[in-house]
Structure 1
Amino acid sequence: MSIMDPSNLGSLIHQKEGHLTRELLLSPGGFGLGKIPEKNLPDSTTQMVCGFCGTGCNLNIHLKEGEGICVSPTTEYPVNLGMACPKGWEALSVLQSPNRAISPLVKKSPNHWEPVDWDTALSLFTRKFKGIQQQHGADSVAFLSTGQMVTEEMAFLGALAKFGMGMKHGDGNTRQCMASAVTAYKQSFGFDSPPFTYQDLEESDVLVFVGANPCIAHPIMWERVMRNPHSPEIITVDPRKTETAMQSSLHLQIYPKSDLPLFYGIARILIEQGAIDEKYIQEHTEGFQEFADYVTAYPLERVIAETGLSQAMIEKFADLIKSGKRVSFWWTMGVNQSYQGVRTAQALINLALMTGNIGRPGTGANSITGQCNAMGSRLFSNTTNLLGGHDFLNAEHRDKVARVLSIPTEQIPDQNSWPYHKIIEGILAGKIKGLWVICTNPAHSWINQGQVRDILDRLDFLVVQDMYHDTETAKFADLILPAAGWGEKEGTFINAERRIGRVKRVKRAPGQALSDFSIFKLIAQYWGCGEMFSNWKSPEDVFQLMKQLSKGQPCDFSGVEDYTAIDEQGGIQWPFPDTETQPPAPQRRLFEDGIYPHENGRARFIFSEPSKMPEPPSDQYPFILLTGRGTASQWHTQTRTRNSDVLRKLYPERIYVEINPQDARAQSIQPNDWIMIESQRGHLKARAFITQSVQPGQLFIPMHYEETNQLTDAVFDPHSSQPSYKCCAVKVSTN
């Protein structure tokens, strides 16, 4: 069987991904370790958190003469318990790619860059950006950051750009994955507070996954589900029959973007049947009666019509929630990446609140984070939130941050940054002339790719700071700064369950590449604001500042002594204030006391009328395109995973499209045919993979391939500004 043949994709996924945990993924010989030649046997071992997804697995890094040579999963770490997915096994190999950026590069002509030294590169950086600001104003330069760097570097970048360089606008690629969950939590709870711990996956008797495919996207979390001793009911809500749906007790294969009316209808049924926790509602929430009145507009007939589900399926869903003693609700990109992602996330929060399924083992309204340090970015990137989860608009917060950092309060902006899409629009409008892109790849990942590439090409000066010189965005850069990757620098990540974990330097960065921290330190000196950061000597110095910034916040981790304490305790979940006298338990959840971060201590029921699909299918474009994860061996834009020989063998090399057999027959499409998929914005060719996984009238293309976002529509959630990647209208042709 050819691994690259899309006609064999179903069996390939079954063999390579569907049984991840028992065979390939978890066995020490499965990926990257194998048998080590005796002359290369490790002479010591250290541990640190993986740098791919937000699960936050811990890896043993086996060292030879101080350099990491191979990895194995850490057995006793409370996240992964001795497991790793293919990406974790290959974490070190991607550092050795020939595509690494090893010196600063300056564009001399189209498609031609020449290496320069750091002095030349940073002198050019400073001269160009200062010149743009002098000519067009301080807000004519912006930055786009990431959920991939260590938290200390994020904090340094945000402080340098906003406080030192006078930039008004900066956002991160977490806007693409977690913004809707962040906004939902802030509005409903009063703070961005994912309440769960991974132990809840093993303690629920009913688990509801919405727009989430953890079998593929978060396989170690799925393994935690498989360890659940309670024979749980597993419910998947997804238009596509994903690997997770195939393993579920109940798959609700809804019409795309009909999840919001479904959850309102379920709420109506539970209220009518008295299957709610009235005591919890009365003591810990507000706005329930208004919510209960609102959902009377969602009788079964309406929910059936809008979702395409049968009455029996809907009633069974409600019965399983009603009968469950420990019900947990989990969601990820299928909810967040939507034009109504915030309200959909809040519909799940409402179900958890009204049934009292929060703050107890096995419960919660739980957003599964995408990137390895999205939680760190959400708290400390200094983009749309002030450092430490503070508010740029709050004078007391600005004073506190200024005091901790020993800078004048006037250095801190009193206005919010533009979100990501406004920055892109600002370039198009000629308001932003210079852009600094750090450790992210918008020319691949941003929605409506053709437009964003045209926009990037309009900049007066584009700087890309990355560990690889050949990313899609780097091809537009005027200046490329070579950065160290995971494993080549120090710092911390914060995972999806709020656990702070360590990242360590176990390899030397190649050539002249430097850690992002060192690059920021140098830029501060060249810019002339180095004195502002004179105390920022090392990542651990910044960690101590972050502790002070978190103090008094819901995310307070001022009780974490230092990096050594994080190592010794197997990672530490926030909150852990310095008022605590004992080391924290290894698994902790929020809201056990029913007190929420709103001033009155209550959670809020928030709801609104569902919006219409911005671009529904039509006679000209009769299909709905769905996008999402492909395999457990691929990651986002494949910037790293395509640099592993092992990982590349585990997924189809060429882009493919899933199409239902009924549609394939109607279009005379055979397996492996090259077919054209076209939207109003662009087109691509893909190999046809004929499967019942997608419903008639729908297509699915993995997000990892460069071409995918040529099709997607630049539509955004009005509350979170998150792009809606998951549905747009397309047509299919065979010529």
Structure 2
Amino acid sequence: MSISIKDNRNDAGKTFQLPTLLQRRTGPMTRELVLRPGDHGLGMTHDSMAADTTTTATCGFCATGCGLRLHLKDGEAIGLTPETAYPVNLGMACPKGWEALRVLDSPERATLPLLRDETGKLSPIEWDDAFSKFCDGMKQVQSEHGPESIAFLSTGQIACEEMAFLGALARFGMDIRHCDGNTRQCMATAVTAYKESFGFDSPPYTYDDFEQSDCLVFIGANPCVGHPIMWERVLRNPHNPEIIVIDPRRTETAAAATQHLQLRPKNDLALLYAITNELILRDFVEHDFVQNHTQGFEELRQHVSQYDLATVCEEAGLAVEDVSAAVEAIGRGRAVSLWWTMGVNQSYQGTRTAQAIINIALITGNIGRPGTGANSITGQCNAMGSRLWSNTTNLFGHHSFTEESDRRKVAEALNIPVEKIPSTTSWKYDRIIEGIRNGEIKGLWVVATNPAHSWIDQGDVRELFDQLDFLVVQDMYKTTETCSHADLILPSAGWGEKEGTFINSERRYGLLKKVRHAPGQALADFQIFRGIAHRWGVGEMFAEWTSPEAVFQIMQRASRGQPSDISGIEGYEQIDRCGGIQWPWSADHASGGFEPEQQRRLFADGRFFHEDRRARLIVDDVSPMPEPAGEDYPIVLLTGRGTVSQWHTQTRTRQSPLLRSLYPNQPYVEMHPRDAAELDVEHGDLVRVRSRRGHADATACLTHSVQPGQVFMPMHYECTNQLTLSHFDPHSGQPSYKDCAVRIEPVLTSDHD
């Protein structure tokens, strides 16, 4: 059998190195051609035998980070199956993963740069003109309104290397001071909680812990829908574990739990303090661990003593005996893991709630051992990459802008003058939005995110976008709500059309591979940033940034000595060979010459990242709900994930006919039958959900999954954030999407607008 190889890549005219091959015999008459790990999906042809060609890559939907086996023909992916050997998903995939290729084939794809003319019409232009329009437009805004008048909003959706390029280009090359990512909407609370409690943003767990626990506690988390492969790992647990769910809604996860504490909304912090108090009173404290590895136990003990179990249960709408049973399960558990996600993070007191979870793990000694941990489940596919590498509110590699030693270290790693690194951090997302309102921000660059759909109090941000002098949107699709406000649209490649790395929830670097050509003239975000750097006049500053893997090597240099050190990774080839590599994997780790273990936890030695190596036990006062239900708006609106087939703003999932068939295409609102009866509303009726900020029409879905006085709407529908209240956690700056006051009105068909 003879084999010919050709290079099909054409990003920005770049020449790429040809791949090497491994031949693996699969039968007496066939050979399977397998891309050597690190070849990243380059095209290949063969002349006489219908050989299958496959490669593996990390899924690009959520931060579970599943491995997918991509089936190639003439170098192009034509199908996929779950990768059975990948340590994350072990041969499983959710509907979104199965449809990852389908969503690339959409008439809504942005295939040419588009410029809005004087009449308001978007017309195609060439890339050379697009780069000029971008640079001239942003420089004009800076000239007229000052150097700090432009900002960017980035994402957890692009590769680490692209985030690194964007952040370095903007902060060090273009002198953009203010920038943030949409990870502010999902993970900022967990980041802040970990940094304050552990000394670094450091989720301690590995997915094997789902299978090793004898007691799992989920707070504001519905992995059955939000992270179904993680839930599959729970179902593989051989220990018949106790599963406790703390959630105001009877979610799919709660329905499968052994205990569901269905509390009233925003009583979670008080409840966790009451549980902590009971653990202390019943002496379920690991005293040696607390004494040797934590700081602040006495302050914690005194603070939580105010939260009497009976009083808190009455306020939360819970039975004392139910909470007492949960306390016993946690206290007597051999290996207890506590998990949270957006139900905690997206709260006005989310940071302190997350730290209350961390406190429970620490005082009971459930940290650093198999099946334990205070574990934040990440949302977006590369939210952790954004946390480490986006150069927004943290300096490159999770260093500090305000520390001179950190600035010098990063400057040396990037081979740039230290004077180019600012000594002040950026505004947070909400402050950037306020900057538009105040006329401080007049130019905005939005990369791979859709804030005109996803930002809290949606109507307000849409009006503000129209006040900008220059709005540039860089996206796969030209039809997003944010694109409708753009002056310039830059078409970008999506997952499967470019390469780089993602970091999943358990700190695992996985590979994103190019297995398809982007449509039309769409370019990888990496190549767009290269073009902008050249046209802005700072190409020499980024002369070393020639490819994603070259940037990965720069990232490795910058990571040395950090808790997230990756200096020991041998490159993309090793990441691929190992099925991903969890950080940290330093040069010291690798010095023994062996491969990284697949399942590695943090804090097994009880040493944390504060200078004294002790974790902090942090408490605070409980705050009342900013907009409680009242006479005019008597219902509390809850929001969250709808079905396993929906994702975020549906920018991608709506491109798949299969995924659209698996969830209601029209907005719906879950109501308790008692509330519906009072309004003379029946199942399937159209109702209007109205808040002080706007209204949304939705189909009434009568269910006991919500309690009387509460309704639930999925976050994915465009109308949901027309209702939400613009309030934020004071420590993390994360929006509090999960609670606001609404009223429900029946809608006659003739009244529907």
TM-score range, shorter chain: over 0.9
Partner of 1:663 in structure 2? 675
Quick check: 1:637 aligned with 2:637?
no
Deviation at 1:502, TM superposition (A): 0.3
Partner of 1:616 in structure 2? 628
Identify if the C-alpha distance between structure 1 residues 323 and 422 changes in structure 2 by more than 3 Å, giving closer, same or farther.
Answer: same
What letter matches 1:612 in structure 2? P
Kept after mapping to 2: 8 A contact 1:140/1:431:
yes
Partners of 1:462 and 1:299 in 2: how far apart? 52
Quick check: 1:277 aligned with 2:286?
yes
- Equivalent position SS for 2:368: coil
Deviation at 1:305, TM superposition (A): 2.5
Quick check: 1:238 aligned with 2:230?
no
Partner of 1:464 in structure 2? 473
Cα deviations by residue, 1:575-632 (Å, 9 ceiling, x for unpaired): 1110122211100000000000000000000010011100000100000000000001
Partner of 2:698 in structure 1? 686
Q: Give the counterpart of 2:402 among 393, 408, 416.
A: 393
Kept after mapping to 2: 8 A contact 1:195/1:364:
yes
Partner of 2:72 in structure 1? 63
Deviation at 1:112, TM superposition (A): 2.1
Partners of 2:696 and 2:657 in 1: how far apart? 26
- Equivalent position SS for 2:115: strand
Cα deviations by residue, 1:422-480 (Å, 9 ceiling, x for unpaired): 00000000000000000000000000000000011100000000000000000000000
Partner of 1:519 in structure 2? 528
Deviation at 1:111, TM superposition (A): 5.5
Q: Give the counterpart of 2:740 among 723, 728, 731.
A: 728
Partner of 1:380 in structure 2? 389
Q: Give the counterpart of 2:159 among 150, 158, 161.
A: 150
Partners of 2:131 and 2:650 in 1: how far apart? 28
Partner of 1:20 in structure 2? none
Partner of 1:80 in structure 2? 89
Quick check: 1:49 aligned with 2:58?
yes
Cα deviations by residue, 1:18-47 (Å, 9 ceiling, x for unpaired): xxxxxxxxxxxxxxxxxxxxx997730000
Cα deviations by residue, 1:635-682 (Å, 9 ceiling, x for unpaired): 000000000111111000100000000001011001111001000001
Partners of 2:641 and 2:62 in 1: how far apart? 12
Gaps of at least 5 residues in structure 1 are 1-38
Q: How does 1:700-719 map to 2 (within 5 A)?
A: 700-719=712-731
Partner of 2:685 in structure 1? 673
Q: Give the counterpart of 2:502 among 488, 493, 506.
A: 493
Q: How does 1:509-548 map to 2 (within 5 A)?
A: 509-548=518-557
Deviation at 1:308, TM superposition (A): 1.0
Deviation at 1:304, TM superposition (A): 1.4
Identify if the C-alpha distance between structure 1 residues 175 and 40 changes in structure 2 by more than 3 Å, giving closer, same or farther.
Answer: farther
Q: How does 1:388-467 map to 2 (within 5 A)?
A: 388-467=397-476
- Equivalent position SS for 1:624: strand
Partner of 2:264 in structure 1? 255
Kept after mapping to 2: 8 A contact 1:40/1:64:
no
Normalised TM-score (structure 2): 0.92
Q: How many residues align?
A: 697
Quick check: 1:342 aligned with 2:354?
no
Partners of 1:52 and 1:89 in 2: how far apart? 11
- Equivalent position SS for 2:138: helix
- Equivalent position SS for 1:372: coil
- Equivalent position SS for 1:47: strand
Partners of 2:457 and 2:683 in 1: how far apart? 28
Cα deviations by residue, 1:508-542 (Å, 9 ceiling, x for unpaired): 00000000000000000000001000000000000
Cα deviations by residue, 1:184-203 (Å, 9 ceiling, x for unpaired): 00000000000000000000
Q: Which moved more, 1:403-412 or 1:39-48?
A: 39-48
Kept after mapping to 2: 8 A contact 1:41/1:64:
no
Quick check: 1:696 aligned with 2:711?
no
Deviation at 1:553, TM superposition (A): 0.2
- Equivalent position SS for 1:568: helix
Partner of 1:292 in structure 2? 301
- Equivalent position SS for 1:297: coil
- Equivalent position SS for 2:117: strand
Partners of 1:556 and 1:418 in 2: how far apart? 27
Deviation at 1:135, TM superposition (A): 1.5
- Equivalent position SS for 1:417: coil
Cα deviations by residue, 1:55-88 (Å, 9 ceiling, x for unpaired): 0000000000000001100001110000000000
Normalised TM-score (structure 1): 0.94
Partners of 1:278 and 1:346 in 2: how far apart? 19
What letter matches 1:211 in structure 2? G
Partner of 1:23 in structure 2? none
Cα deviations by residue, 1:124-144 (Å, 9 ceiling, x for unpaired): 111110011112111100000
Partners of 1:261 and 1:705 in 2: how far apart? 31
Deviation at 1:119, TM superposition (A): 1.1
Deviation at 1:406, TM superposition (A): 1.0
Quick check: 1:126 aligned with 2:138?
no
What letter matches 2:695 in structure 1? H
What letter matches 1:174 in structure 2? T
Deviation at 1:306, TM superposition (A): 2.3
Deviation at 1:97, TM superposition (A): 0.5
Identify if the C-alpha distance between structure 1 residues 301 and 533 changes in structure 2 by more than 3 Å, giving closer, same or farther.
Answer: same
Deviation at 1:301, TM superposition (A): 2.6
Partners of 2:69 and 2:624 in 1: how far apart? 49
What letter matches 1:621 in structure 2? Y
Partners of 1:111 and 1:63 in 2: how far apart? 42
Partners of 2:504 and 2:359 in 1: how far apart? 24
What letter matches 1:209 in structure 2? F
- Equivalent position SS for 1:468: coil
Gaps of at least 5 residues in structure 2 are 1-47, 748-753
Kept after mapping to 2: 8 A contact 1:634/1:704:
yes
Partners of 2:50 and 2:676 in 1: how far apart? 53
Partner of 2:21 in structure 1? none
Partner of 1:561 in structure 2? 570
Partners of 1:408 and 1:615 in 2: how far apart? 49
The root-mean-square deviation of aligned C-alpha atoms, in Å, is 1.0
Deviation at 1:699, TM superposition (A): 0.3
What letter matches 1:85 in structure 2? C
Identify if the C-alpha distance between structure 1 residues 42 and 432 changes in structure 2 by more than 3 Å, giving closer, same or farther.
Answer: farther
What letter matches 2:693 in structure 1? R
Partners of 2:643 and 2:356 in 1: how far apart? 29
Deviation at 1:110, TM superposition (A): 5.9
- Equivalent position SS for 2:148: helix
Identify if the C-alpha distance between structure 1 residues 202 and 110 changes in structure 2 by more than 3 Å, giving closer, same or farther.
Answer: farther
What letter matches 1:346 in structure 2? Q
What letter matches 2:126 in structure 1? D
Partners of 2:710 and 2:68 in 1: how far apart? 39
Kept after mapping to 2: 8 A contact 1:337/1:724:
yes
Partners of 2:282 and 2:496 in 1: how far apart? 54
Deviation at 1:178, TM superposition (A): 0.3
Partners of 1:531 and 1:452 in 2: how far apart? 37
Identify if the C-alpha distance between structure 1 residues 111 and 636 changes in structure 2 by more than 3 Å, giving closer, same or farther.
Answer: farther
Partners of 1:381 and 1:649 in 2: how far apart? 36
Partner of 1:190 in structure 2? 199
